[in-house]
Chain A
Amino acid sequence: MAKRIARDGVLLALALILYAVEAQIPSPVPVPGVKLGISNIITLAAMFCIGPADALCILVCRIVMGQMFAGNAVSLIYAVSGGLLSYLVMYMLHKAVTHKQIWVCSVFSAAAHGVGQILSAAMVMKTTAVFIYIPFLVCSGIITGLFTGLCAGFVIARINNNIK
């Protein structure tokens, strides 16, 4: 148990570092919700190498702490809903793909992240005008998810099951 907490804590720290680094990169397109999502590499690694429960703990802690450092109460809602929907998709797919197809899982979870953010944004801002960004966010999610998924694939291939 102590080992588990220590290991998940290290992964959480890594995810937060990636999150902080990413926050320094200006978004190339001014559309809310478009981002690289490199901290998702940690969530993917945790999901495939440790298990869904640990991945969820790391994800939720990373989102809440990340938003405390850079964000406000409203952006926390978007981050949580995007994160949870992407986790749900990742959880449903992680048994359906091989270790060589981790990027597939990442692509769909990144697309779901954008959809989740827009759904919560529509609810919070009480307007359906933001829905028209959904196709764009799915496209950007496919591209960024491909990138982070391939990265996660390399990471997982290196650490294999050594962190279990």
Chain B
Amino acid sequence: MMKTKTWIAIIAVLFAVCAVMSVLIFTRKGHVAKVVLDGRVIRTIDLDAVTEEYSFEVRGEGTNVIRVRPGAICVSDADCPDRICVAHGWESSGGAPVVCAPNKLVITISDEDIDGVTF
């Protein structure tokens, strides 16, 4: 049996490492949004090039309404059970991808240039 102190030390180190990694990940910057449905990139949007707010629907396992405004993107409505994607709100920097796990939808934001093939 390991001592409680040893366990606390192991858990504290694990927590610290993961916390630092999370901070590094969530503070990354980007401006190109990729809407990925069921593993396929269905739309690539340069958020810096958006001038007017608009929204569109994606249908896969369920339906999600995606809203785009200059510099930011969000899921404004969804029929998934948990609606975590809607609660995520506007995402602009790119650290955390907007995920709708039940509907197999992921919106990532990165620094990559838009390639014409996927649009």
Q: Interface on A for B, CB 8 Å cutoff? A: 26-27, 30-33, 70-72, 74-75, 78, 96-98, 100-101, 104, 107, 111, 121, 124-127, 129-130, 132-133, 135-136, 138-139, 142
Q: Which of B13-68 contact A (CB under 8 A)?
A: 14-15, 17-19, 21-22, 25-26, 36, 38-40, 61-62
* Alpha-carbon gap, A133 to B96, bound state (A): 8
Q: In the assembled complex, which residues on chain B have CB atoms less than 8 Å from the CB atom of A78?
A: 101
Q: Known contacts A27-B87, A74-B101, A139-B15: does B36 contact A127 (CB below 8 Å)? A: yes
Task: Select which of B7, B11, B18, B81 is within 8 A of A70 by beta carbon.
Answer: B81
Q: 19 A–B contact pairs at CB < 8 A?
A: A30-B84, A33-B101, A70-B81, A71-B102, A72-B61, A72-B81, A74-B103, A97-B1, A101-B1, A101-B7, A111-B14, A124-B104, A125-B36, A125-B39, A125-B105, A125-B106, A126-B40, A135-B17, A138-B18
- State whether A75 touches B104 (Cβ < 8 A): no
* Alpha-carbon gap, A33 to B108, bound state (A): 18
- State whether A31 touches B96 (Cβ < 8 A): yes
The size bracket of the interface on B is 35 or more
- State whether B101 touches A125 (Cβ < 8 A): yes
- State whether B11 touches A107 (Cβ < 8 A): yes
- State whether A125 touches B25 (Cβ < 8 A): no
Q: In the assembled complex, which residues on chain A have CB atoms less than 8 Å from the CB atom of B25?
A: 132, 135-136
- State whether B1 touches A32 (Cβ < 8 A): no
* Alpha-carbon gap, A98 to B89, bound state (A): 43
State the main secondary structure of chain A at its contact with B: helix
CB-CB nearest in chain A for B12: A142
Q: In the assembled complex, which residues on chain B have CB atoms less than 8 Å from the CB atom of A129?
A: 36, 97, 106, 108
Q: In the assembled complex, which residues on chain B have CB atoms less than 8 Å from the CB atom of A142?
A: 11, 14-15, 18
